[in-house]
Structure 1
Amino acid sequence: MVLKFYAPQFVGGGIAIVALALAEKQAAFEFVPINMAVKEHKTAEYMAMNPFGQVPAINDDGFAMYESRAICRYLDERFADQGATLVPKAMKERAVVEQAISVESMTFSPPLSKVVGELVVKVRRGLTPDQALADEGLKEISDKLDVYEVILAKHNYLAGDNFTLADLVHYAYAPMLAEKGVDIMTVKERPNVARWWNELMSRPTWVKLKAEGMKSTV
Structure 2
Amino acid sequence: MAETMFLFWGSGSPPCWRIMIALEEKKLQGYEQKLLSFERMEHKSSEVLAINPRGQLPSFRHGDTILNESFGACLYLENQFKSQGTQLIPDAGDEQAAVYQRMHEVLTLQDKLGAVIYYNWRVPENERHDSAVERNKKALNEELMLWEGYLEKLGPDSFVTGKNFTMADVMFFPQVAYAVRFGISTDKYPKLMEYYTKVKERPSIQASWPPHWKDSPPTMDILKDV
Deviations 1:50-105 (A, max 9, x none): 23221111111111111011111111122222222222233322111111122211
Aligned length: 200
C-alpha change, 1:210 and 1:131, in structure 2 (3 Å) is: farther
Among 98, 123, 133, the residue aligned to 1:96: 98
TM-score (norm 1): 0.77
Question: Could you say what secondary structure the match of 2:77 adopts?
Answer: helix
C-alpha change, 1:130 and 1:158, in structure 2 (3 Å) is: farther
Note the C-alpha offset of 1:163.
1.4
C-alpha separation in 2, matches of 1:164 and 1:97: 7
Task: Tell whether 2:139 aligns with 1:137.
Answer: no
What residue identity is the alignment partner of 1:49? I
TM-score (norm 2): 0.74
C-alpha separation in 2, matches of 1:198 and 1:33: 26
Deviations 1:146-189 (A, max 9, x none): 22233223322222221112122123443233333332xx32x5
Structure 1 counterpart of 2:13: 12
Among 39, 44, 69, the residue aligned to 1:41: 44
C-alpha separation in 2, matches of 1:95 and 1:139: 29
Deviations 1:115-147 (A, max 9, x none): 22147x68xxxxxx9776554333222212322
Q: How does 1:35-114 map to 2 (within 5 A)?
A: 37=40, 39=42, 41-43=44-46, 45-105=47-107, 107-114=108-115
What residue identity is the alignment partner of 2:198? E
C-alpha separation in 2, matches of 1:18 and 1:131: 36
C-alpha separation in 2, matches of 1:131 and 1:207: 38
Structure 1 counterpart of 2:116: 115
C-alpha change, 1:167 and 1:50, in structure 2 (3 Å) is: same
C-alpha change, 1:39 and 1:177, in structure 2 (3 Å) is: same
> Gaps spanning 5+ residues in structure 2: where?
123-127, 213-226
Note the C-alpha offset of 1:41.
3.5
C-alpha separation in 2, matches of 1:210 and 1:141: 25
Q: Which has the higher contact order (CA 8 A, sep 6+)?
A: 1
Structure 2 counterpart of 1:24: 25
What residue identity is the alignment partner of 1:53? G
Contact 1:116–1:176, Cα closer than 8 Å, also in 2: no
C-alpha separation in 2, matches of 1:85 and 1:180: 31
C-alpha change, 1:147 and 1:176, in structure 2 (3 Å) is: closer
C-alpha separation in 1, matches of 2:189 and 2:60: 37
Structure 1 counterpart of 2:183: 181
Note the C-alpha offset of 1:211.
6.3
C-alpha separation in 2, matches of 1:165 and 1:133: 33
Question: Could you say what secondary structure the match of 2:118 adopts?
Answer: helix
Task: Tell whether 2:198 aligns with 1:193.
Answer: no
Structure 2 counterpart of 1:216: none
When the two chains are superposed, the root-mean-square deviation of aligned CA atoms in Å is 2.8
Contact 1:159–1:166, Cα closer than 8 Å, also in 2: yes
Structure 1 counterpart of 2:161: 159
Contact 2:89–2:99, Cα closer than 8 Å, also in 1: yes
C-alpha separation in 1, matches of 2:192 and 2:179: 15
Contact 1:112–1:141, Cα closer than 8 Å, also in 2: yes
C-alpha separation in 1, matches of 2:76 and 2:202: 22
Question: Could you say what secondary structure the match of 1:210 adopts?
Answer: coil
